[in-house]
């Protein structure tokens, strides 16, 4: 079983691959599935700035695109001693697949833990959306 430290280490590894020539603000993420698999992501910027994709969404979309649907925990790291939490857009995207996910980050080398519910209390959900729609057909 992955410890929080190990998941944060995976996020730190991905952080090295961040493509951030514009903001110079690199972010790494690692998402843990219920089955114990880990998918990592980094932010990928673009000269058309709005096309930038955050590290958290890269990690989540990598996982979803490989058939994962059940998630336990997301680790996010920034520059040394800089805690990073998912932006509002990423919170909503996480809410789609993992409304009960836990989000961890490092602050001065201490682990800080949040529930997505506290970071996004009233996420958007289409009326009548059935849980089974999330399954793979």
| Pairing of the two strands 102-107 and 28-33 | unpaired
The least distance separating ligand THU from the CB of residue 86, rounded to whole angstroms, comes to 5
Q: Which of residues 67-126 bind ligand THU (CB under 6 A)?
A: 84, 86-87, 90
Q: Which stretch binds ligand THU (CB under 6 A): 7-15, 50-58, 118-126, 127-135?
A: 50-58
Our CB check for ligand THU shows the closer of 64 and 74 to be 74
Count of positions (residues) in the chain: 137
19: which 2 tokens?
A: 């493509």
Residues 6+ apart with CB under 8 A from 119: 85, 86, 91, 103
Token pair listed for 129:
């959306």
68 is catalytic: no
What does the binding site for ligand THU look like in residue numbers (CB under 6 A)?
A: 20, 23, 25, 27, 43, 45, 52, 54-56, 84, 86-87, 90
């Amino acid at each position: 079983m992955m410890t929080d430290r190990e998941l944060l280490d995976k996020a730190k590894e991905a952080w090295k691959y961040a493509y951030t020539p514009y903001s110079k603000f690199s972010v790494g993420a690692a998402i843990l599935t219920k089955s114990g698999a880990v998918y990592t992501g980094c932010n990928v910027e673009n000269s058309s700035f709005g096309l930038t994709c955050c590290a958290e969404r890269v990690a989540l979309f990598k996982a979803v695109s490989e058939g994962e649907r059940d998630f336990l925990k997301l680790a996010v790291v920034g520059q040394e001693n800089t805690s990073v939490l998912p932006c509002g857009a990423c919170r909503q995207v996480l809410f789609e697949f993992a409304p009960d996910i836990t989000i961890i980050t490092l602050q001065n080398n201490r682990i800080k833990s949040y529930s997505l519910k506290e970071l996004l209390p009233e996420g958007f959900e289409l009326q009548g959306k059935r849980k089974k729609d999330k399954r793979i057909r």
